[in-house]
Structure 1
Amino acid sequence: MVWEYLSYVINQWNGNVVVMGDFNEVRYKSDRFGSVFNVQGAEEFNAFIADVGLEEVPLGGSSFTWCHKSATKMSKLDRFFVSNSLLNSCPHFSAITLERFLSDHRPILLREINFDYGPTPFRFFHHWIELDGFSNFVSDVWKSAPGGDSVRFKEELRVLDEKIDKKDGSNELVQRRTDLIKNINHLDQIRSMDLAQKSKMAIRGVMVDGEWIDDPMNVKREFFNHFRDRFSKPVDHRISIEMQYPKQLSYEQQADLERMVTKEELKAAVWDYGTDK
């Protein structure tokens, strides 16, 4: 079978690998429009990708890379794959589809761009410290995290190296040192896989009116405009009811409700929150 042959060829290449082209197969049902989705074919394709240790480069732009001349059938047949080792060393790979010209397939441009959206907001409420078990919770999470174990292992490895250098190391210490090195390498692999996964899930751009936008400032603006429009007050006029009420606000009270808030009132409200907000 073609997948077995490709697996054999790729396994002959040691190190960084890039595989691209028209695979004439899709991975998911959403990759086809207007044509039948072959479940068995997709399963074999995904099994091949997993067996050879490849990761798909996230694709921006059009969702489909092939289109029938009648525009009634479209599929995502063209892809870029890279080896895990290459993705760990170059986590900022991305691909974007270009406009079709003569072929019924869209060209794909592979590039490495680091999209900097600025620092991630971090918020901490001081009242958390007063909760029962908070300190133990933080300590347990730190110890269970790969980064925390890595720091602890590396410190222990430093102490062992000092003892071995002074010729005070027994066979047990040497064996412990070997075990620590294995653990540190394993944790580093997990951390690299985590970074690669975060890179795959990162937002690289957004399609707006048929145009692919990837500049961080423009992407932020499009997201802001989208959610502002979704949650803004409707512009349509509402129905008013013409009837008399026995109790009504005075004109002074109505004006007081609708007046602008002063800077002094804002300052007083913010200052009343306390120093930990």
Structure 2
Amino acid sequence: MSSVVKNRNYLLIRGKIAGSGLVLNIFNVYAPQSVLAKKLLWDELTQVISDSDGFWVLWGDFNAVRYREEKKNCSLKQSCVDNFNNFIFDAGLIEYSLRGRKFTFSSANGRKQSKLDRFLINPGFFNSWPEASVEAVSTFLSDHGLILLKSVLVNFVARPLRIFDSWFDRLGFQEVVVKALKKDLGCHGPPDTILMRKLCDLRVDLKVWRDEMLKKSSEKVNLPSTDLGNIQAVMEERDLTEEEEWILLESKKVLKEEEERKSSDFRQRSRIKWAKDGDENSKFFHAMINCRKASILFMAWRLMAFRCQNRRLSKRRFSGF
């Protein structure tokens, strides 16, 4: 921190981000109620921002909204909205989208709600942290909810390794699991810690085995697919020999087994996805069902039209004969 400016309606802290040397200006704003007083505050903040460099982050209770949708059961002063939007435009500020809640202020009885609290940043800050987000958190201690600016994308949950049922019959799967669990990692501590280390090591080994298995499966399918295409081309010209018939049957067998494994994996994935977000995808699935119904009706209509056409042709031929 290099300097602090205290004002009746804001607190400005200026300094440098540790480790990078980038200048950061932080405004904690509490805007007045009067429209004229807010307009004077916006002009002052615009002048301060234009006179200094670095990143700018403004947050707090601005006592103003940008759109009519940010108020519920509250009166709206269009001049206040216009002044606030003009200030954001003139100062070159950007607003992160709000997550968690739609409004940040709520009256005691919950009838009146508004989005009065927000974060405003300049393009330099946004370009450095484009994945940042603002989250509104409910609280019972105040009529204003908490707002949090998360500048770092944090995900403590490891990406799960999905094990499909078809893997259990694959060559080498059981050996990899047994070898990983029997491996001495040389770690000491509570049993749950040792088990976690073993599972992490098993995860790494299974990833290596999975990549090799998928590569071998691809190579295994390429040759039968090529042989099948060549033999089908020969079938159109001449009869097949016994050796070619055997190659044809074996190629179909290999491709059918691989297709059955893929179908099994697809079914398992669909069950996982449905169990995870089936309700969220209800609109999508209903649309798919309607499309299928429409396709079936269209095919039935075409079949009926085809039959009617054949009947007319038959009648004409019979009458002509």
User: How high is the TM-score relative to the length of structure 2?
Assistant: 0.38
More helix by share: 2
Work out which of the two has the higher radius of gyration on C-alpha atoms and give 1 or 2.
Answer: 2
User: How high is the TM-score relative to the length of structure 1?
Assistant: 0.44
